[in-house]
């Protein structure tokens, strides 16, 4: 954890997250809206306005989660890699700093889903032999950056193994 | 209940395996001598398999003929209690149909198929196991890769002189091979093949050279075992239930005779059956019924308290007896990196485990165990991902031992561990206040609830407030952590105090966490992730650390971990 460069995710990740979450929110709105339209709430009279109000409240929370949270989350997300330790920082309300010794790497995965591909982004997953926190995801990396990071991690892990084997 | 410790193991295993090894044997001819228990040699008849080119085909052996009936019988015995309980609800026929159709018959069929299909042979440095009914599977397990050998002998196994052998390797969480029902000789041959390769010490053998090859030996004496049973969790639970009942009875009074319905039935029955003069039946002891004495005696005349006590004493007796039977003649030995254990009066268990494979160790000293000066040791090995229930106790290293012995066993299990009771570093004392507030909130909610249902009876919750504070204070006093370059120690808990020990080389990652409230109080939690969590509950989590300390500790742990290689 020495003074190495603190790196951020690709800004495109915010747009990616917004897109995915907006799609989910739209589907949710449509489905609950259609169901609500046909639902009879007259037995609640004169309190039947409560139901659409709750619906609107949920929707506004949904808008917040879909449009505002990704930007906040992006600002808190950072990672740092040196020859010995990988460090991930994230979280808005529940903040976490994960520190993984490079020598504990089991393997590194790159994921590129259909929506991610459209944005030219890749997520990188680090696997350790652990149990509760056996895999760690770094989302929203630009394709080349992700590939470079993967090679960097594997190089660092190999170097560590060689040092240990010889020394 | 725990007189049949296999209760949970058996059905799970039998359900899992058919999928894993739904298996073969197109070319297996029926053995005419099957079912003949005494002719163990008949199972080791040679089978010619032209397709396999290995030279030592002639040693191929099959499972013991009792495979056909023994596991099924055992399952039946083990499920007799749920069967009886179920028959109360759905009637004996429904229960029989359910258990027969979904438990007994499948197990029976599975083991018949297994008997017909499984064949194994020892070839040089490995054991080759063939299985499979439709898709054939041939598994080769090199002996030096075997991490754990378990030999299980239930009462049924022992009567006919057989055993069950489990081999496990680091690669998989489930057993690599489970050979149920082998002759004792065959099991010994397998075990010896592994130990010859690995220099395992068999704690059961009476050879003189056992002492020579073992670097450490521990045997549990009966006195410690009985004390261990008395201080076990089951007994503690029974005690807690009794004191709760007693407390509620004292507070709520005689009205809450929780056994009244049951006891009245018994009373009616006995009154009808007991012959004798009329006066016997209505005899009531002449006890004062006013004043303080009368109040106290009202519990006795009501019979609830004596009945509760009787029930508890019976429960204690059964629990202690079950504990003693389970861990009878416990022995542990170490030779080089291999630990081997054996125990059991009825069901005999023998296991070997490589010291390299141990990921974390937990020294358990519950409140009662501390009174007796006892402790237990648990370890976790790599690849144990699933949480197992306590009754299974697979990797419990020592069920109970005097504290000094337990600490010595811990040192034997983790080389380089020399300090188990260091001067503990403390967490932030704010922890007491935070914990108490949380507890008080829960008690307050319960109190309000009770007020709505029982009016002023809600006052019976009042003693809970100071108790919650005491609990948190005690918890804080016992909480501590300590780390050196080689390992991390965390001690936690008051009633169930446990000391976790994680060697630095096994740390997979260290996670610093802070929620909203933590941030306001400038606190943080630190969790350590390791490769096993079945028996110790995984790597420890230290809460309520001051932020700077947490950051510092995280850096230390990760830097030290990065400096050494993790090996399985």
Contact B514 A96 (CB under 8 A): yes
Residue with more model confidence, B183 or B283:
B183
Question: Which residue does chain A place closest to B359, by CA atoms?
Answer: A130
Q: Does A78 have pLDDT greater than 90?
A: yes
Quick: pLDDT tens for B118-152: 888 888 788 888 888 888 888 888 887 776 778 88
Does A129 lie at the interface with B, CB-CB under 8 angstroms? yes
Task: Round to whole Å and give the CA distance between B437 and B431.
Answer: 10
Does the pLDDT at position B523 exceed 70?
yes
Taking an 8 Å cut-off on Cβ atoms, the answer to whether B562 and A84 are in contact is yes
> Does B510 contact chain A (CB < 8 Å)?
yes
Could you tell me how many CB contacts below 8 A there are between chain A and chain B?
100
Q: Please tell me if residue A128 touches chain B, with a CB cutoff of 8 Å.
A: yes
Cβ of B385 within 8 Å of Cβ of A131? The answer is yes
The answer to whether A94 contacts B514, with C-beta atoms less than 8 Å apart, is: yes
- Top pLDDT among B2 and A105 is at A105
Cβ within 8 Å, pair A98-B532: no
- How many C-beta atoms surround the C-beta of residue B510 within 10 A? 27
Residue in chain A nearest B510 by alpha carbon:
A99
Q: pLDDT tens digits, residue range B157-202?
A: 888 889 988 887 665 555 667 888 888 888 888 877 777 766 555 5
CB distance B507–A93 less than 8 Å? no
Query: Of A139-143, B92-96, B157-161, B315-319, where does the model show the most confidence?
Result: A139-143
Alpha helices by DSSP H, listed for B4-54, are 9-20
Determine the pLDDT at residue B42. 35
Query: Does the pTM exceed 0.80?
Result: no
Considering only CB atoms, B511 lies closest to which of A96, A103, A129, namely: A96
Mean pLDDT value of segment A50-62: 90
CA distance B565 to chain A (A): 6
- Of B367, B245, B260, B368, nearest to B309 by C-alpha is B245
Instruction: Among B12-16, B310-314, B458-462, B555-559, name the one with the lowest average pLDDT.
Output: B12-16
A100 touches chain B (CB under 8 A): yes
% of residues, chain A, pLDDT over 70: 92
Residue A159 contacts B where some CB pair is shorter than 8 Å: no
Here the ipTM equals: 0.88
What is the average per-residue pLDDT within B540-558? 94
Query: Mind giving me the DSSP string for B370-385?
Result: HHHTEEEEEEEETT--
B512 interface with A at CB cutoff 8 Å: yes
What's the pLDDT score for residue B253?
A: 54
A1/B559 touch (CB, cutoff 8 Å), yes or no: yes
Q: What is the pLDDT of residue B301?
A: 56
pLDDT at B204 over 80: no
Residue B386: its pLDDT value, please?
46
Q: Is A34 helix (H, G, I), strand (E, B) or coil?
A: helix
Please enumerate in sequence order all residues whose Cβ is within 8 A of that of B533, keeping only pairs 6 or more positions apart, or say none: A131, A132, B380, B384, B385, B387, B539
Enumerate the residues of chain B whose CB falls inside 8 A of the CB of residue A131: 385, 529-533, 538-539
State mean pLDDT over B78-88: 86
pLDDT in tens, B452-482: 887 787 888 899 999 999 999 999 999 999 9
**Residues from chain B contacting residue A167 (CB–CB below 8 Å):** none
Residue B207 is predicted with a pLDDT of 47
d(C-alpha B124, C-alpha B146), whole Å: 14
| Assigned token pair, B16 | 């899992």
Give the pLDDT confidence of A15-41 residue by residue, as tens digits. Answer: 999 999 999 999 999 999 888 888 766
Under an 8 A CB cutoff, do A96 and B513 touch? yes
Distance from CA of B341 to the nearest CA of A (A): 26
Q: Is 50 exceeded by the pLDDT of residue B1?
A: no
Which of B132, B112, B532, B175 lies closest to B357, judged by CA? Answer: B532
B93 has pLDDT over 80: yes
Would you call B554 and A133 a contact, using CB atoms and an 8 Å cutoff? no
Q: Say what the pLDDT of residue B311 is.
A: 72
The verdict on a CB contact (< 8 Å) between A132 and B529 is yes
* % of chain B beyond a pLDDT of 90: 25
pLDDT at B53 over 50: no
Q: Is A92 on the interface with B (CB under 8 A)?
A: no
Rounded Cα–Cα distance for residues B302 and B297 (Å)? 8
* CB–CB contact A133 B529 (8 Å): yes
On whether any CB of chain B is under 8 Å from the CB of A93, the answer is yes
| DSSP calls for B322-362 | HHHHHHTT-EEEEETTEEEEEE-SSSEEEEEEEGGGEEEEE
Answer whether A84 touches B (CB < 8 Å).
Answer: yes
pLDDT per residue as tens digits for the range B358-395:
888 999 998 889 999 999 998 887 655 444 444 444 55
Residue B284 has a pLDDT of 55
């Amino acid at each position: 954890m020495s003074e190495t460069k603190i790196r951020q995710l690709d800004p495109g990740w915010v747009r990616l997250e917004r897109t995915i979450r907006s799609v989910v929110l739209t589907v949710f709105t449509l489905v609950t809206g259609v169901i609500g339209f046909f639902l009879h709430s007259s037995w609640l009279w004169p309190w039947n306005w409560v139901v659409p109000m709750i619906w609107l409240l949920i929707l506004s929370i949904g808008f917040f989660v879909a449009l505002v949270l990704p930007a906040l989350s992006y600002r808190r997300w950072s990672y740092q890699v040196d020859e010995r330790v990988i460090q991930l920082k994230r979280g808005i309300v529940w903040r976490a700093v994960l520190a993984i010794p490079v020598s504990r790497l089991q393997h590194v995965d790159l994921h590129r889903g259909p929506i991610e591909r459209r944005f030219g982004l890749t997520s990188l997953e680090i696997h350790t032999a652990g149990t509760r926190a056996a895999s760690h995801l770094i989302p929203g990396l630009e394709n080349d950056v992700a590939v470079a990071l993967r090679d960097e991690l594997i190089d660092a892990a190999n170097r560590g193994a060689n040092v240990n084997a010889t020394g | 209940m725990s007189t049949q410790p296999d209760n949970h193991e058996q059905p799970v295993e039998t359900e899992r395996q058919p999928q894993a090894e739904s298996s073969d044997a197109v070319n297996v001819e029926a053995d005419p001598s099957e079912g003949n228990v005494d002719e163990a040699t008949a199972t080791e008849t040679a089978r010619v398999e032209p397709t396999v080119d290995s030279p030592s085909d002639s040693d191929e052996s099959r499972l013991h003929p009792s495979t056909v009936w023994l596991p099924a019988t055992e399952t039946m015995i083990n499920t007799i209690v749920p069967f009886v309980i179920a028959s109360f609800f759905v009637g004996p026929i429904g229960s029989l149909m359910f258990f027969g159709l979904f438990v007994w018959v499948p197990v029976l069929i599975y083991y018949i198929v297994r008997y017909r299909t499984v064949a194994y042979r020892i070839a040089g440095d490995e054991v080759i196991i063939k299985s499979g009914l439709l898709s054939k599977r041939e598994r080769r397990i090199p002996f030096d890769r075997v991490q754990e050998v378990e030999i299980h002998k239930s009462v049924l196994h022992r009567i006919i002189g057989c055993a069950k052998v489990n081999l496990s390797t680091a690669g998989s969480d489930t057993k690599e091979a489970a050979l149920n029902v082998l002759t004792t000789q065959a099991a010994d041959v397998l075990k010896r093949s592994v130990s010859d390769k690995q220099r395992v010490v068999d704690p059961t053998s009476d050879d003189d050279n056992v002492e020579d090859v073992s670097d450490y030996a521990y045997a549990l004496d009966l006195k410690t075992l009985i004390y261990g049973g008395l201080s076990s969790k089951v007994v503690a639970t029974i005690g807690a239930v009794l004191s709760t009942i007693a407390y509620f009875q004292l507070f709520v009074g005689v009205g809450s005779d929780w056994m009244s319905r049951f006891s009245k039935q018994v009373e009616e029955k006995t009154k009808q059956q007991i012959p004798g003069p009329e006066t016997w039946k209505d005899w009531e002891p002449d006890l004062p019924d006013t004043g303080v004495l009368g109040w106290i005696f009202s519990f006795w005349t009501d019979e609830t308290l004596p009945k509760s006590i009787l029930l508890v004493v019976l429960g204690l007796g059964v629990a202690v007896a079950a504990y003693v039977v389970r861990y009878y003649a416990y022995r542990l030995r170490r030779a080089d990196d291999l630990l081997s254990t054996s125990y059991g009066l009825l069901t005999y268990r023998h296991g070997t485990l490589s010291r390299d494979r141990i990921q974390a160790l937990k020294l358990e000293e519950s409140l009662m165990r501390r009174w007796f000066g006892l402790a237990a040791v648990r370890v976790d090995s790599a690849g144990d991902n699933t949480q197992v229930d306590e009754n299974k106790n697979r990797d419990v290293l020592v069920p109970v031992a005097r504290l000094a012995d337990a600490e010595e066993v811990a040192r034997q299990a983790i080389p380089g561990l020399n300090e188990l009771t260091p001067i503990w570093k403390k967490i932030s004392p704010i922890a007491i206040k935070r914990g108490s507030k949380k507890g008080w909130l829960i008690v307050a909610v319960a109190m309000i609830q009770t007020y709505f249902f029982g009016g002023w009876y809600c006052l019976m919750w009042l003693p809970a407030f100071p108790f919650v504070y005491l609990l948190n204070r005690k918890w804080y006093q016992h909480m501590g952590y300590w780390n050196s370059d080689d390992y991390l120690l965390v001690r936690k808990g008051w009633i169930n105090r446990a000391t976790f020990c994680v060697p630095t080389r096994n740390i997979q990652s260290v996670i610093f966490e802070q929620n909203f409230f933590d941030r306001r109080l400038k606190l943080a939690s630190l969790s350590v992730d390791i490769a096993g969590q079945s028996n110790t509950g995984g790597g420890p989590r230290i809460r309520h650390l001051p932020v700077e300390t947490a950051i510092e500790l995280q850096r230390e742990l990760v830097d030290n971990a990065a400096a050494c290689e993790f090996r399985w």
